[in-house]
Amino acid sequence: MASLSSDEWRAICDKFTNAQNLTEVESRNDPENDPFRSKYKARELLREIYCSLKSFEVSEGEEDGGGESGDPRPAEQPVDGQREDGFGQGFSGDSPAGLRAAKLGAVEYYLGVNHVDTEELSAGQEHLMNCMKLLGRCSVSSENVSLFIHVRNQLGILWAGRDETETAQGFLETAESIYQHYMKEDGSPPTDMTEYFTTEEKLLTHQERTKRFELAYTHTMYYLAQVYKNLGQTERAATYCHSTLQRQLQLNQFNPMEWALNAATLSQYYITKGRYMEGRHCLSAATVISGLAGEVPSEAAAQESETENERREQLRQKRAEIARCWIKYCLNLLQDAKKLLEDNIGELDTDRQDELKRARRGEEEEEEKGRKSALLFGSEDTFDSIASLEEKVRCLFPLDFTEARAVFLVGQNYVTQAKEYFQMDGYVTDHIEILQDHSALFRALAFFEEDLERRCKMHKRRVDMLEPICTDLNAQYYLMIRRQLMFELAETYSEMMDLKLTLANRQADTQSLDSHTIKKFNHLCSASAKYFQMFLDSLCSPEGKVPEHLEEEVLRPALVARFRVARLHSRLISSSPSVQLDNLNRSLENYKYVVQYCETHPEAATTVETELELSKEMVGLLPLKINRLKARMAANN
């Protein structure tokens, strides 16, 4: 290796070890008012190493007597920013000149990182670029490929920090192609950065070398993910996040719970893009890997030790969060299926259903192919567990009640799991969000249910779940949530009311309804109106004053609520004329409000176009109806 005397060489190696130690260990103890003390010391040592190497190089050059062709042509390097495959000219990486360049380059690299860490970006950049130039004269080989990658990773970070994302992208993409090319052409465990200045005995094992090299590339993937995200290329960013996760598993460089949560979060990205197969895979992997984190400490163990207590909390909480991600998977799958299948009045379109069922037969084969090309997570141990979990729930849209119910049941199961941890007493907001998801699951399933009676029962489940909560919450702290619940309850009661009417109309031959049905109908109608009204009341001041101006977030719901209250009151059935009059007056009052508010606030009109139009009509028609009724009442007296 070196013609430096072995003493001189050892001295250099020691200096390097010191520098590393200062940078990584000692620096943590640097005081607040001199935070870079150790790093400045490390810098001096690195400079000394550089000088030693340089002076040695001069003498080496004389010895060689121009062994290599005089002034080396710059190797056809992969130009950063372009994916080129010009590897091969200039010094060979493993030649003496190549090794010298690598060593010098490594020192420049460490100096570069040192300057960046001490916030001297320009100097850092200079050193890193020097490293690049030195390497530029060499071809890629196992002696220097790690350095090739590392220096580009650093330059990527540096330029990103200056908001020059495309420049960063260039460096990182080149690192990517260098890695891929190297693995294809060579693949042997490359020299690690730290090994340039170690003595023979301390060289790393092949295994360790590979591990570190792969970790460097994992970082390249991660940095590219961030770059793509910053460029707005979210899909590409997601793919690179996926690759990063995949690599962490393959290289066994992960913390199970952290990995599981990240995979579960990635699944949510896929879900929002409608990519259910990938989403399901992420979630299944998340569940399996979270199991690797071990058993939850028992309550008894948790009582005795603070660390066990914390561990118990952490594990339970994170697993419950993964369950919540699964709930979203099931819910979104059902909701998206509904969107595909519904006609223009929100009912299941059977023609479309048949059409989609036919198309699906082809789709299942596509699923298989897609599966293979998609990035699979896991290792030998986990592939099977992940696959078997995936088999428990479909990733293609459910097209009928049976299929929908299967998805619903999986979702419901996760609801139960999640609620075990996120209990009401302690986690009010989370608990209620889970209930809201559960209610939404029922709502989505109801769409597929053909039997109207059973459909109504599903809505009743929703009401039973949410109604008690609404009243038991502190009105001040949980204002937002209460409003959401009120609105949902109002709409659910309305749905039930409509269903009851449809059912009754189907059964009865004549137009008239029996008194039992009327009572039921009125109950549902009033309940719906009550909750809409409660919502409206929640917008008032503590003294009960109606707000003159509605805030943007509540504008549309408030106007819709007014409209619905109006409509519901006009639908209440009563045989008593005075009650009828009351209802009609309430109805008119609310329609008028909508019209008047939109007049005084023109921007509001655009948010409730349909409702406004109908309100205007009713404001015209209702007074006539009211007068007719009054006339009849007078006539009868």
Q: Tell me, what amino acid is at 19?
A: A
The nearer residue to another protein, 134 or 193, going by C-beta atoms, is 193
Contacts of 40 (CB under 8 A, 6+ apart): 118
> How many CB atoms neighbour CB 393 within 10 A?
21
Structure tokens at 507: 């059964």
Contacts of 191 (CB under 8 A, 6+ apart): 102, 142, 143, 144, 146, 209
Within 13 Å of residue 263, how many CA atoms lie on the same side as its CB? 34
Crossing angle of the two packed helices 306-341 and 276-291, in degrees rounded to 10: 160
CB of 416 to another protein, least distance (A): 16
The nearer residue to another protein, 145 or 428, going by C-beta atoms, is 428
The nearer residue to another protein, 225 or 534, going by C-beta atoms, is 225
The nearer residue to another protein, 180 or 429, going by C-beta atoms, is 429
Distance CA 195, CA 203 (A): 6
Strand, coil or helix: what is 352? Answer: helix
Q: Tell me, what amino acid is at 78?
A: P
CB of 426 to another protein, least distance (A): 4
Binding site for another protein (CB under 8 A): 28-33, 35, 156-157, 160-161, 163-165, 168, 218-219, 222-223, 225-227, 229-230, 234, 237-238, 241, 244-245, 248, 258, 261-262, 264-269, 271-274, 306, 318, 321-322, 324-325, 327-328, 332, 335-336, 339, 424-429, 472-474, 476-478, 541-542
Is 495 exposed, middle or buried (CB count within 10 Å of its CB: 0-12, 13-18, 19+)?
buried
The nearer residue to another protein, 332 or 533, going by C-beta atoms, is 332
Yes or no: say if 173 and 211 are a contact pair by the CB < 8 Å rule. no
Strand, coil or helix: what is 2? Answer: coil
Crossing angle of the two packed helices 552-571 and 577-600, in degrees rounded to 10: 160
Distance CA 193, CA 24 (A): 15
CB of 99 to another protein, least distance (A): 29
CB of 325 to another protein, least distance (A): 5
The nearer residue to another protein, 197 or 269, going by C-beta atoms, is 269
Structure tokens at 16: 């390097």
**Cα 388 from chain centroid?**
24
The nearer residue to another protein, 201 or 425, going by C-beta atoms, is 425
Structure tokens at 203: 């060289």
Structure tokens at 473: 């919450």
The nearer residue to another protein, 131 or 225, going by C-beta atoms, is 225
CB of 428 to another protein, least distance (A): 4
Distance CA 468, CA 393 (A): 32
Sign of CA dihedral 381, 382, 385, 388: negative
CB of 545 to another protein, least distance (A): 9
CB of 306 to another protein, least distance (A): 5
The nearer residue to another protein, 138 or 323, going by C-beta atoms, is 323
CB of 238 to another protein, least distance (A): 6
Strand, coil or helix: what is 203? Answer: coil
The nearer residue to another protein, 97 or 158, going by C-beta atoms, is 158
The nearer residue to another protein, 163 or 509, going by C-beta atoms, is 163
CB of 166 to another protein, least distance (A): 10
Residue 105 backbone class (left: φ over 0; alpha: ψ -120 to 50; beta: rest): alpha
CB of 298 to another protein, least distance (A): 19
The closest alpha carbon to 336, from 395, 293, 287, belongs to 395
The nearer residue to another protein, 186 or 472, going by C-beta atoms, is 472
CB of 485 to another protein, least distance (A): 12
Tokens 């979702």 locate to: 411
The nearer residue to another protein, 56 or 159, going by C-beta atoms, is 159
The nearer residue to another protein, 440 or 524, going by C-beta atoms, is 440
CB of 112 to another protein, least distance (A): 14
Structure letter (DSSP) for residue 200: G
Yes or no: say if 570 and 591 are a contact pair by the CB < 8 Å rule. no
Yes or no: say if 517 and 504 are a contact pair by the CB < 8 Å rule. yes
Contacts of 123 (CB under 8 A, 6+ apart): 115
CB of 515 to another protein, least distance (A): 39
Distance CA 236, CA 256 (A): 25
Distance CA 414, CA 444 (A): 16
CB of 317 to another protein, least distance (A): 9
| Alpha helices for 508-546 (secondary structure H) | 515-538
